[in-house]
């Protein structure tokens, strides 16, 4: 029953500025099994870890990531919007995070944000970095852009991929298999018992997002969910570990 892993959504985003090194370090500190993060490309094609297509919400700057050179993006403050205590945090490059992850035993879910902005070659760029740090066995690449996942599977079938979806699909494991994906990352409300049961029979991991409430965590752990993606890893671990 306690086999469900806890993945920290954008790092420990409940307590720390999302998608920053300090948020990932906090996830490790509290005992998370893995972290989830979001990737975009800068104008000079550097993969960077940030959720939105622009820097407006989570930094002191403004504008599209695709219009920023990496060196300029690094000058932005990505912590003070959350709390002044975190002033000075920067937007990490994916490389910086992977270099750090490689020294831990964390799993890492890399979400390719290749939907609203189409980042050419993002799949290959990310795959090369995963291999550079020898992380293929600890990485899951996910995306709402399933064409991107097909590309990942074509270039690197050895890396696990998972479809992200928001709708209540019927037998999504059958669809996932058609694109070579091996995991289901679904919006919490569609992680219904039928989906969990069917995926478990198929041996396909389900990792719903974003699971912050105790009743949902308990139900998913009891339902045999592979992992939950949560903003509050410390609390989620406690709830999971205290379940009878």
CB of residue 244 to ligand G3P, shortest distance in Å: 29
**Contact of residue 185 among ligand G3P, Mg ion, none (CB under 5-8 Å per partner type):** ligand G3P
Long-range contacts, stretch 210-214, CB < 8 angstroms, 24+ apart? 210/9, 211/236, 212/14, 212/236, 214/239
Size of the site for Mg ion (CB under 5 A): 2
63 SS3 class: coil
> Contact between 111 and Mg ion (CB under 5 A)?
yes
CB of residue 210 to ligand G3P, shortest distance in Å: 6
220 neighbors 203 (Cβ within 8 angstroms): no
CB of residue 202 to ligand G3P, shortest distance in Å: 21
* Annotation marks residue 9 as catalytic: yes
> Contact between 38 and Mg ion (CB under 5 A)?
yes
- Residues engaged in binding ligand G3P (CB under 6 A): 9, 36, 38, 51, 111, 142, 164, 185, 209, 229
CB of residue 109 to ligand G3P, shortest distance in Å: 6
- Please, which residues bridge with residue 209 across strands? 187, 229
Question: For Mg ion, which stretch binds (CB under 5 A), given 17-25, 110-118, 153-161, 194-202?
Answer: 110-118
Q: Give the CB-nearest residue to ligand G3P.
A: 209
Catalytic choice (16, 51, 146, 185): 51
Cα angle at 69 between 65 and 71, to 5 degrees? Answer: 115
Dihedral sign of CA atoms 89, 92, 78, 105 in order: negative
240 SS3 class: helix
> Contact between 231 and Mg ion (CB under 5 A)?
no
208 neighbors 191 (Cβ within 8 angstroms): yes
Binding site for Mg ion (CB under 5 A): 38, 111
């Amino acid at each position: 029953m306690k086999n469900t892993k806890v993945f920290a959504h954008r790092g420990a985003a409940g307590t720390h500025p999302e998608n920053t090194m300090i948020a990932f370090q906090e996830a490790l500190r509290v005992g998370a099994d893995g972290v989830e993060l979001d990737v975009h490309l800068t104008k000079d094609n550097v993969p960077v870890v940030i959720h939105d297509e622009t820097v407006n919400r989570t930094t002191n700057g403004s504008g599209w990531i695709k219009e920023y050179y990496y060196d300029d993006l690094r000058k932005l403050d990505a912590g003070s919007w959350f709390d002044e205590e975190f002033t000075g945090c920067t937007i990490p490059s994916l490389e910086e995070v992977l270099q750090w992850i490689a020294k831990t035993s964390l799993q890492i879910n890399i979400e390719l944000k290749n939907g609203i902005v189409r980042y050419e070659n993002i799949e290959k760029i990310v795959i090369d970095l995963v291999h550079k740090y020898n992380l293929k066995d600890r990485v899951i690449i996910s995306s709402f852009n399933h064409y991107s996942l097909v590309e990942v599977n074509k270039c690197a079938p050895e890396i696990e991929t998972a479809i992200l979806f928001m709708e209540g699909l019927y037998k999504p494991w059958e669809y996932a298999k058609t694109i070579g994906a091996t995991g289901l990352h679904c919006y919490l409300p569609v992680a219904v018992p039928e989906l969990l049961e069917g995926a478990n029979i198929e041996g396909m991991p389900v990792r719903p997002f974003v699971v912050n409430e105790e009743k949902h965590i308990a139900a998913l752990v009891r339902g045999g969910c592979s992992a939950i993606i949560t903003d509050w890893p410390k609390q989620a671990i406690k709830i999971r570990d205290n379940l009878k």
